[in-house]
Chain A
Amino acid sequence: MELILLLFIFALAAFLGFELIAKVPSQLHTPLMSGSNAVSGITVVGAIIAAGTDDGSWLTTVLGTAAVILAMVNVVGGYLVTDRMLGMFKKKEASAGKKEDRV
């Protein structure tokens, strides 16, 4: 039964994803992509569970830890880069004032 519930969640999330993204202006395509790229780092959740379980094998710990590192780079790098990019999108009034506004 629980499997069916997971598939149910999957199906609903898929439709939601389509609805959410269908009408995004092209100016936001890059931030949208790098933002959703950061979200794909959610695999850090699986990595934490893998790294934290003790099954008596060092291999699982190594794989899990490497996965945590990689997923964290994906998450942190992704969000910060997206924020940096979005910080540069300015309206005319705002951009006239300050010339340099880099992180």
Chain B
Amino acid sequence: MKPEILINLVYIVASVLFILGLKMLGRQATARRGNALSAVAMLLATVATLFDHNVVSYTWIIVGLVVGTVIGVVCARIVKMTSMPEMVALLNGFGGLASLLVGWAEYGKIRAFGWERYLGEFAGTPVFTASVIFLTVLIGGITFTGSIYAFAKLAEWLPGRPSVFRGQHLANGALVILVLVAGVGFSFDALAPLGGLAFWVVLLASLVLGWTFVMPIGGGDMPVVISLLNSLSGLAACAAGFVIANNVLIVAGCLVGTSGVILTAIMCKAMNRSLAGVLFSGFGAAAPGAATASAAGEGEMQGELKPISAEDTFSVLEAARQVVFIPGYGMAVAQAQHVVRELAEMLESNGAEVRFAIHPVAGRMPGHMNVLLAEANVPYEQLVEMDAINPLMASMDVAVVIGANDVVNPAAARDRASPIYGMPIINAHEARTVICLKRGKGAGFSGLENQLFLLPNTRMLYGDAKGTLQSVVAEFKALAAS
């Protein structure tokens, strides 16, 4: 049998395993095996490719494989669970850059070999192959710098607030047009002297575009951005697959691309915002305008912030039979997940029923809170989704809001003037008592005042969430000891 046929048979097996792995990742019981299966598929595809007849020298491949593996293992070992969003963003950026470099290298080969010899190896026509190289570089470049910017925002190396400047949309629009013109020029004659220039324009402009595309997006919208960038890295790989006519690249890249699109849509729906709105509105930067808009609803905003001490919090919780915790990004910042779990266990041994209500966009990436609570050994049966908890909310004695803000802001349901109006929220305000843990008296990430904090049944527990909860736990321990 010809080696090409054997390689393609292995690619088919790998594609099937990728599909099965992804399917199994969607269920709690099989997720871990699904991930392993997907890794096996990757191994098969990688090993099979080493036998491709285009591969004639192995030194640098082996160097690359070893160096990459070592870095990957080290990264995966040392990363903290709270840093998971930025880790995913960083890895995603690497994938995008890798695809960009593949596109670049293939263009170099075309220049060295000429079209005839190149297309004898890989299927295609000059225009088709050049246009998919253009797409690979464009999508890969956007993925790379976009992910790096997202990483820097998530790691708080850059401020999480959206940065907008005058004429930003205009500048972005001009860049997009420039990229498209250069891309079309490149596609029609990649080997002409102007083709080479067009390639450089596409390369540089796509890198700038990735940066400016994430720039105006605020930290609260990060779950959407991360899902979208994830999708793009798959599409970049897919485009590279079309360049070298490789079916496993196309299948795997396309699976990632579409699954990312779905996650993005789920995240947008959870915020009741359109993708265009997230990408182009610079949400939160418009806070001054928003503030005047909600000033109209000032009448119902009346009320005062009522602080509560850790001791009183203990008394309230001690008497409660139904308790729900509502975590947000603040819990991650305060690293409070372990002490929250400890408190939950104490409440349970005190006879209360404890749930955790998870909003789909709480945190900085899809499912962020679930990962943190799982790390703290909270059993996943206690984690309840928004739609499941809201009907029960009125029967809750206490709702403890830990560093969440917009996802529990009743303005989203009541105040038409509010920028987050229409966003589905966890109805914390329906609980008999609401205790909000907050570092200080500032507005939330989106810069909005939270009406929940002003309600008569709300008490504010100020301070670092970890510290204040520790003192509540200490009270419980003292009770148990006495």
Contacts and interface: CB of A to CB of B under 8 A. Distances in A.
Q: Do A and B come from one complex?
A: yes
A42 to B, nearest CB: 4
A95 B365 CA distance: 24
Contacts, number: 395
B68 A70 contact: yes
A21 to B, nearest CB: 4
Contacts of A90: 374, 377, 379-380
B237 A20 contact: no
Interface stretch (B15-23, B401-409, B462-470, B471-479): B15-23
Interface in A59-100: 59-61, 63-92, 94-95, 99
Interface in A5-45: 6, 9-10, 13-18, 20-45
B57 interface: yes
B49 A40 contact: no
A40 B256 contact: yes
B51 to A, nearest CB: 10
A6 B109 contact: no
A99 B39 contact: no
A64 B42 contact: no
Given A42-B248, A43-B95, A69-B71, A60 B105 contact: yes
A37 B91 contact: yes
Which of A39, A71, A86 neighbours the largest number of chain B CB atoms within 10 Å of its CB?
A: A39
A33 B77 CA distance: 18
Contact of A71 (B94, B256, B385): B94
Contacts of B257: 14, 17
A30 B371 contact: yes
Contact of B35 (A31, A51, A57): A31
Nearest to B31: A86
A32 B263 contact: yes
B279 interface: no
Contacts of B54: 49, 52-53
A7 to B, nearest CB: 8
Interface in B238-271: 238, 240-263, 266
Contacts of B104: 63
A16 to B, nearest CB: 6
B245 A6 contact: yes
Given A18-B258, A46-B243, A36 B22 contact: yes
Interface of B: prevailing SS: helix
Given A30-B368, A40-B233, A68 B252 contact: no
B187 interface: no
A36 B108 contact: no
Tell which of B76, B233, B246, B247 has the most Cβ of chain A within 10 Å.
B76
A80 B76 contact: yes
A61 to B, nearest CB: 6
A50 B45 contact: no
Contacts of A18: 258, 261-262
A88 B42 contact: no
B250 A6 contact: yes
Contacts of B248: 42, 45
A3 B68 contact: no
Contacts of B254: 10, 13-14, 17
Contact of A26 (B253, B260, B358): B358
B34 interface: yes
Nearest to A77: B72
A21 B26 contact: yes
B69 interface: yes
Contacts of A65: 60-61, 63-64
Interface in B100-119: 101-102, 104-106, 108-109, 112-113
A70 B46 CA distance: 14
A60 B365 CA distance: 36
B105 A50 contact: yes
20 contacts: A2-B245, A26-B266, A27-B370, A30-B370, A30-B371, A32-B259, A35-B38, A40-B237, A43-B102, A45-B49, A46-B99, A46-B246, A49-B49, A52-B57, A63-B104, A69-B64, A70-B97, A72-B68, A72-B71, A94-B379
Given A26-B370, A68-B98, A72-B69, 14 more contacts: A2-B123, A2-B245, A3-B124, A28-B28, A30-B367, A38-B91, A50-B109, A52-B54, A52-B56, A60-B109, A64-B64, A70-B101, A74-B72, A81-B75
